[in-house]
Structure formats: C-alpha cells, structure tokens
Amino acid sequence: MAVDDPKTVDVVSVDRTTSEVILDVTDHLDWSDEAGHLMFLQNKINAYSSFIESGEFETAYPDAKGRQPVIHVACMNKPPPVAVRFFDRVRDILQPAGIRFSYRHSHFNSPSEAI
C-alpha cells in the first residue's frame, strides 16, 4: 500500500474530532523525479476521488455514509514548491465535488500544511 499503487486505498480512518472520513495516501517516495512522483500522486488521488464519487466508498465503508470525505497525502519527504502548487490545485478541483483535500510532510508529528 503506497502512493505508487493506485488500485489500493492505503488507510481509512474517522477523525474523532471532526467526524470526517480520512483516506490517507502514504507517500514514501523522494522527490528526485518530480514529474514521475507527481504522476503517481495524480493517479492515486484520481483513483481515490473516483472511489468516493462512484459511491463504492460508502459501500465498502458503511461508517462513511453521511460523513465528509477527506483525501489526505502524508509525505515522508518535504514536498518541493511544484508539489505544493499541485496540492493547491488538487484542493481547488476536489472542493466542488464535496471532497476535502489536505497534505502534510510527516516526520510524523508535523501539522498539516494545507487544509
């Protein structure tokens, strides 16, 4: 389970504070190949959003019904500026679909950088 496997949802959890359902993307890759890394992220995020929008998500996770879905990317390595711009764009695209997006550079107690 990782960013380079778009067919698998890495982690699903419920935030006890907000009651949101968090679909985590675990991103272990370094940024030496920025274009390739962004392609992996795009494929994974597209798969997650399709999973949510199709209704398959609520079928697979009945506790998700009626809760705000959040796609969250946990980056092991600090995202470069091009990735931050990509994440900002993803957030803007997903918002009208009712999907919240966030990310963080997680060594592993760091706060989210975009919400």
Mean pLDDT, each 10-residue run in order, the chain (115 residues): 84 92 94 96 96 92 92 95 97 97 75 48
Whole-model pTM over 0.75: yes
Tokens read off for 80: 């470069």
Q: From residue 33, how far is each of 45, 82, 93, 114 by CA, in Å?
A: 18, 12, 24, 23
Count, residues in the chain: 115
3-class DSSP state of 107: coil
Say which residues have a Cβ less than 8 Å from residue 102's Cβ, sequence separation at least 6.
70, 71, 72, 73, 91, 112, 114, 115
Domain ranges of the chain: 11-105
pLDDT of residue 2: 84
